[in-house]
Structure 1
Amino acid sequence: MKTVPLRSFQEFLGSSARFGVPTDASWRNRLLANLVYYQSNYFLIIIHSFRNPTSLVVGLGITCIPLVLFMLADISPQTVRNPKVALPVIIALSLLLLYSINHLIFFLVAILIPCLGKFASFSAY
């Protein structure tokens, strides 16, 4: 069994990747050809994602916290205007983000797998 060599970043996602919407007939063939061509790259990304699931979950939480806070700020704008409440929350969240930046990076890399698959299906040869 022969393994496929790793492709360069420029070829994998860089400027040499061309994107266009395929026809329905050619979409499946292009997706399968792309998966075979970049299988080593996708395999390394999947291995990286499952290597540390705790980082994946913590990164998901760190990513969702700002979304929840924006929703709460939209619901009750009086809380945002009160600096006695807003300043400690901002400081605590900033420290949490700095403390867990490695988890956040791990999550962002792992969550890009579906995005890469989507872009791979639209990549032209």
Structure 2
Amino acid sequence: MDFISKMELAPLRPWDDFFPGAERFSKPEFGDLTKWNNRVISNLMYYQTNYFVVALVVFLIVGFLNPFGMFLGGAVVSLVFAGSVWAGENKPTIKNFKKKNPTLFVIGVMATSYFVLSLFGGVMVFIFGITFPLLLILIHASLRQRNMKNRLENKIEEVGLKKTPMGIIMDLLDQQEEKMNKIQDFIENKLQ
């Protein structure tokens, strides 16, 4: 739990930067999954507090309409995610799959959560309270072009000078380790 004491909350980005006109959005390159993944991760890291606010607003609306269902949905998704992360750390096959296919891993967590919630009758709360905000976030992160501030802030996070909640989630999904190795190799080459 030492990482929690070192964690910093990323600043809330200006809303006109977060959701400006169409000129800052473009279709991702679906043919280049690495480039698309980098765009999504960069935007998730840079706009993480804005995404948290958007998700919180949707959670509060759905939670107000169905408090028990929202609590149940949040608990199920949290438990399934925690179990999946544990399995990913302790089972090499799952760890490899999680590292190579983070989007499919998250979809698998959501599908498992959906199945468990369907047993309790909480599917509509799951769809509107949990899946809808995640879908909005994924769409924004996929379409929003990166800028220089975004890239610089992400490099600071990757080097480990800052640790944010989204950085911890990315670590749990094994999305930071590879970038850290590239930065370390770059620094070592410059020092030689």
Scaled by the length of structure 1, the TM-score of the pair is 0.47
Scaled by the length of structure 2, the TM-score of the pair is 0.33
Higher relative contact order (CA 8 A, sep 6+): 1
